[in-house]
Amino acid sequence: MTAAQSARTGYLRMPEGHQLAYVDTGGSGRPVLALHGAYGRGRVFLGLAERLGPDYRVIAVDQRGHGRSDHPADYGREGFLRDAASVIEQLGLAPAVVLGHSLGGINAYQLAARRPELVSAAVVVDIGAEISVPQDTEILGLPRHFPTLAALLAAIGQAVRLGVVEHFTESAAEDEHGWHFLWDAEEVDQVKRNVRGAWWDDWAGGAQPVLLVRGGDSPLISPQHGAEMVRRRPGAELVTVEGAGHDLYLSHGDQFAALVRTFLDRLPRRADR
């Protein structure tokens, strides 16, 4: 049975009252909490889980406002970090490896700095310590529903400026009104407004091992910015996937998984293993 076939969907109630959905590949391997980027959902990491299993157990969360999770009113930085901390605590994963792409990447390194007892190491995928992403005006202009799946796919394909379409289409769903996305574009716009800024204190504030992976063709982290991030944080290493863009975990899945596995295999064994 593959990781995708064995992945169990569960729900956790957060202290604030909302629910988060997650998929858990199970098994006795070292736990890796995977946090997706804006517009994504946990299931986008099942390909990575397939490549890492059975040595690693991937628990991939639908973060607030995404996937099958609830849509609370708060999309600030602290809310995302409270959610990730609660997932680790409720599932008994501490200290966990936290792997995050884009939005999930900043959540990973901020959690490592602010709740170090919960995080043993982090993998940060194509997000920097200074973030100035533009507004997704094309996505904000899309209708709420589409008559067919083909129409939805065509529309998002034209609207996406950064990344690959597959990152978005895992969140496509059908209801009585037609095809739609599980995320709300205006809510995601709030999320992205709240990640803009300089987060050097959080990036440099943790002592755990960190793997920083950037796409060679991605505009979000320049080579100079990546080098500065490594300089400011002892124990961090930078790897560039040449020819890859922002969603390199999908476009270069085999190469990305190999990098992650090499990093994870070098980590000290957990005391409870």
Q: What is the pLDDT of residues 55-110, one digit of tens each?
A: 999 999 999 999 999 999 999 999 999 999 999 999 999 999 999 999 999 999 99
Contact 52, 261 (CB under 8 A): yes
- The SS3 assignment for 40 reads coil
Q: What is the pLDDT of residue 252?
A: 97
Residue 80 is assigned to a structural domain of this protein: yes
pLDDT reported for residue 154: 94
Mean pLDDT, range 249-257, rounded to an integer: 97
Residue 254 within a domain: yes
Residue 237 lies inside a defined structural domain of this protein:
yes
Which CATH number covers residue 29?
A: 3.40.50.1820
> CA-CA distances (angstroms) from residue 249 to 20, 72, 260?
23, 28, 10
pTM over 0.75: yes
Q: State the Cα–Cα distance between residues 239 and 266, nearest whole angstrom.
A: 15
Range of the domain at 202: 3-131+197-266
- Evaluate whether 108 touches 122 at the Cβ level (below 8 Å): yes
Q: How many CB atoms lie within 10 A of CB 177?
A: 10
* SS3 category, 180: strand
Categorize the per-residue pLDDT at 270 as very low, low, confident or very high, splitting at 50, 70 and 90: low
In the chain, % of residues over pLDDT 90 = 86
Question: In this structure, is residue 245 part of a structural domain?
Answer: yes
Helix ranges, 68-222 (H)? 77-91, 103-114, 137-140, 149-159, 166-169, 185-195, 200-205
Domain membership of residue 177 (yes or no) is no
Q: Which token pair is 118?
A: 């919960």
Q: Cα-atom radius of gyration of the chain, to the nearest Å?
A: 17
| Cα–Cα dist 168/254, whole Å | 20
Q: Looking at residue 146, what DSSP letter applies?
A: B
In a domain, 107, yes or no: yes
The answer to whether position 151 is within a domain reads no
Segment 195-210, tens digit of pLDDT? 999 999 999 998 999 9
Total domain count for the chain?
Answer: 1
Does residue 162 lie in a domain region? no
- Count of other CB atoms within 10 angstroms of residue 246: 26
